[in-house]
Chains A and B, each alone.
Chain A
Amino acid sequence: MSAKTKTITDSFKRTKQVTSLKQKLPISDVKSSSSKDGSQREQDIAILKQFDLTLEFGPCIGVTRLERWMRAEKHGLNPPKDVKELLDQHINDPEYTDCLWKDYAI
């Protein structure tokens, strides 16, 4: 050991580990759409959230909205068709496909 005591944190810098409950969404997806689409997008998401919160179609946590819609359709509960159209148009957008509570790891 040299006169100046070296600690391990001299060789390996201490970095703060950030663990947050919310996973950050890729912001680029949202910013790429124009401002006119933005309000349309908000309306769409509002309709989808309303679909999530309608408990007659069963629990929404842990399944995608499309799966939930198909289950409701299979049991003859008449889920709204515009929800299905929105889901079909935006297959790759996680904001559309996943349920309201997707950020929380349940």
Chain B
Amino acid sequence: MYCSDKPKNDKVEGLLTEPESEGVIYDRSHCKFESFSDRFRLVKDRNFSRQYAHIYAERLLSMRPKLAEAAKHKWGKDVKIQKLHELESDVKCVLIGTLFKHMELQPSILKEISDEHSLIPQPVLSKYTGENDKLILEDELQRIILVGELKVATSITGVIVAVYGVEPEDDKGKFHVEEYCFQELPAQPELPKLENDRYVALVSGLGIGSKNEKLFQLQMMIDMLTGCLGDEGHQEATSKIAGIIVAGNSLSPDTQDKDSLNKAKYLMKKTAAGSVEAMKSLDDIIAQLAACMDVILMPGEFDPSNFTLPQQPLHRCMFPKGSRYPTLNCVANPLDCSLDGVRFLGTSGQPVTDIDQYSEINDCLEILNKTLIWGHLAPTAPDTLGCYPFYSEDPFILKHCPHILFAGNQPELKHRIHKGPQGQRVLVLTVPKFYKSSTCALINLRTLDVQPLVFETSALDDTWEEDRLTLAGKVVMQNFGWHLNIACRGEHSLLKELYDSNASLFRYRLCCPLVRKFGCLLEDVKVVTLTGTTNALLSLNCLEIGIMNLINSCPA
């Protein structure tokens, strides 16, 4: 099965036989989808005139008892937990409050409007951190500057922390931190024991609607997931993929026309938005996927949903074809759900990208891991990340521990198992942008393993005019042999000699170029995928030429 590192290729001859009237049918696994995202849905009240002070007050008041408990576990039951106004000099105690990071380079509306003569807008930087940043702890009444062990570079505004230290007599106004701690990871429900392997695909950043959109790779991925690609062994493996989560940015940023924001409405009457065509393409894609498996669609930064977090689900009226299937679930961003009892919690990547801009942490997986440690999904909301002014609860606080924590639209696919103090095991996963990396992640719900599925196309420029064929694929070197992954698209001609010849001859002709170039043994070459669109066959010469080009272009 191709989802392991020793794929079996005993069923590849099935591709070269005449199509039977009845083939083997594999039933797709199902998984039960249960949503726990009610707290992210703004259904009842949408009062945007409220101040953001309430969300910070609610955050501090909710998390204070949990931090007090964590502080007592770490520094002993008798440690003094005090408020800032009760602070005495030269007495060691614990303070609990919200962190505020003062950055010079942070874009500020006051700086923008203060010099009216020089209307130079503040530059957009990749990181707004500087050397002179200061860390301040605020509680309900007062604030104090923090120095010492809590490093400014790796901290961000909005995290609730408990610090242990002292305010010295000769340096009043500054609290010298010796140790610090955050909320303890809450209890995790038990991972359900599944008898068979069941997979869930995770993809983000499809980027439809731009010139750089990778429609061929996307179609390859859809064909693979819906079971149109591969021999019987492949199809059996694909039937175990029970669902797909699309984590945001299905539309490309190019669909957002920035000029239309400034132009007068009467000039824009006849122009259609750039996102209309893109949504139609997305609907086609979603309909293909929803016909076969559960699709969970989250909105992202560039999707037609609201700007502030939590983003509301994409409306089903935009999916006329897709919404006819009950398997399409349009959900909010962030997502809190369970698939077959495995708890997923994740976002489309906006909190992680925002933290990346305001701290010196460079690794996106590290940032996601830190949000788990800090106990808050989006600490920078509402300071630098747009957020709805909540009043009665802060829904981003981690109240239970998920099994899988993910963030979409990150630079790379990285994953790690985070181990909690009470034996919790969380799979922390960053999903890359599909329009850059053509990668989707496959998670095994039984073992929490992650496997990347890469749909690279390196020989896309080789088109043969006679057959109007495009051949694409890659040659993958594994340490136990050669794998040839090919996908083909285009018009083709039936080839009688393929029917007559047997599979070993076909393999010989196909794999000769590999043998010639790299000097490996014929037995070591495994043809993993050789497919077209449903039982189509190709001209063998074209195939040979295409494979030669592929092999020549792959790094030695």
* B277 CB to nearest chain A CB (Å): 42
A58 touching B51, Cβ below 8 Å? no
Number of interface residues of A (CB under 8 A): 12
Report whether A59 and B58 are in contact in the complex, using a CB–CB cutoff of 8 Å. Answer: no
Report whether A63 and B54 are in contact in the complex, using a CB–CB cutoff of 8 Å.
yes
- Docked Cα-Cα span, A55 to B392, in Å, equals 17
Question: With contacts A62-B50, A62-B54 known, is A55 near B140, CB below 8 A?
Answer: yes
Which bracket fits the contact residues of B? 10 to 19
Flag if A61 contacts B53 (CB, 8 Å). yes
A8 CB within 8 Å of chain B = no
Does B49 lie within 8 Å of A59, measured CB to CB?
A: no
Q: Which residues of chain B have C-beta atoms less than 8 A from A106's C-beta?
A: 51
- A56→B54 contact, CB < 8 A: no
| A67 contacts the other chain (CB 8 A) | yes
Complex CA–CA separation, A57 to B51 (angstroms): 16
- A58/B391 in contact, CB under 8 A: no
Chain A residues 63 to 80 lying within 8 A of chain B, measured CB to CB, are 63, 67, 71, 75, 77
Chain B residue at minimum C-beta to C-beta distance from A59: B53
Q: Are B51 and A62 touching (Cβ within 8 A)?
A: yes
Q: Which residues of A contact B61 (CB under 8 A)?
A: 58, 71, 75, 77
What CA separation (Å) do A76 and B57 show in the bound complex?
14
B141 at the interface (CB under 8 A from A): yes
- Rounded to whole Å, the gap between the CB of B212 and the closest CB of chain A is 45
Chain A binding surface SS class: loop
Q: Is B62 an interface residue (CB 8 A)?
A: yes
Note all chain B residues with C-beta closer than 8 A to A58.
53-54, 57-58, 61, 140
Nearest chain A CB to B134 CB, angstrom units: 23
**Known contacts A56-B140, A63-B391; is-contact A75 B49 (Cβ 8 Å):** no
- Which chain A residues border B50 with CB–CB below 8 Å? 62-63
Nearest neighbor of B57 in chain A, beta-carbon distance:
A58
- State A47–B522 Cα separation when bound (angstroms): 91
Q: Which residue of A lies closest to B61 (CB)?
A: A75
Contact with A along B399-418 (1 / 0, CB 8 A): 00000000000000000000
State whether B392 touches A62 (Cβ < 8 A): no
**Complex formed: what's the CA distance from A62 to B52 in Å?**
10
Q: Please give the distance in Å from B82's CB to the nearest CB on chain A.
A: 14
Contact: B140 with A67, CB < 8 Å? no
- Tell me, in angstroms, the Cα distance from A71 to B393 when the chains sit together: 10
Give chain B nearest CB distance to A51 CB in angstroms. 15
- The residue on B at minimum CB distance from A105 is B49
Can you name the residue of chain B whose Cβ is closest to the Cβ of A75? Answer: B61
Q: Is the CB of A71 within 8 A of B141?
A: no
> Could you say which of A59, A75, A77 contacts B54, with CB atoms under 8 Å apart?
A59
Is the beta-carbon distance between B57 and A56 smaller than 8 angstroms?
A: no
With both chains docked as a complex, state the minimum distance between the C-beta of B142 and any C-beta of chain A, in angstroms: 10
Chain B, range 384-433, C-beta contacts under 8 Å to A: 391-392
Beta-carbon contact of B58 and A71 below 8 Å: yes
Tell me the smallest distance from the CB of A65 to a CB of chain B, in Å.
Answer: 14
Are the CB atoms of A59 and B51 closer together than 8 Å? yes
Which of B57, B58, B62, B141 neighbours the largest number of chain A CB atoms within 10 Å of its CB? B57
Chain A residues within 8 Å of B141, by CB = 55-56
When distances are taken between beta carbons in the complex, the residues of chain B under 8 Å from A62 are: 49-51, 54
Q: Which residue of A lies closest to B64 (CB)?
A: A75
B:124-165 near A, CB below 8 Å: 140-141
List, in ascending order, chain A residues with CB within 8 A of B140's CB: 55-56, 58
A6-48: CB near B (< 8 Å → 1, else 0) gives: 0000000000000000000000000000000000000000000
Chain B residues whose C-beta falls within 8 Å of the C-beta of A61 in the assembled complex: 51, 53
Determine whether the beta carbon of B391 is less than 8 Å from that of A67.
Answer: yes
Q: Within the assembled complex, what's the spacing in Å between the Cα atoms of A46 and B392? A: 26
10 A/B residue pairs, CB under 8 Å, sorted by A: A55-B140, A58-B53, A58-B58, A58-B140, A59-B53, A59-B57, A61-B51, A61-B53, A62-B51, A75-B62
**A-B pairs with lowest CB-CB distance, top 7:** A58-B57, A59-B53, A75-B61, A62-B50, A62-B51, A55-B141, A61-B51
Spell out A's residues near B (CB within 8 Å): 55-56, 58-59, 61-63, 67, 71, 75, 77, 106
Besides the known contacts A58-B58, A58-B140, 14 further A-B residue pairs in the complex with CB atoms under 8 A apart = A55-B140, A56-B140, A58-B54, A58-B61, A59-B53, A59-B54, A61-B51, A61-B53, A62-B49, A63-B50, A67-B391, A71-B58, A75-B62, A106-B51
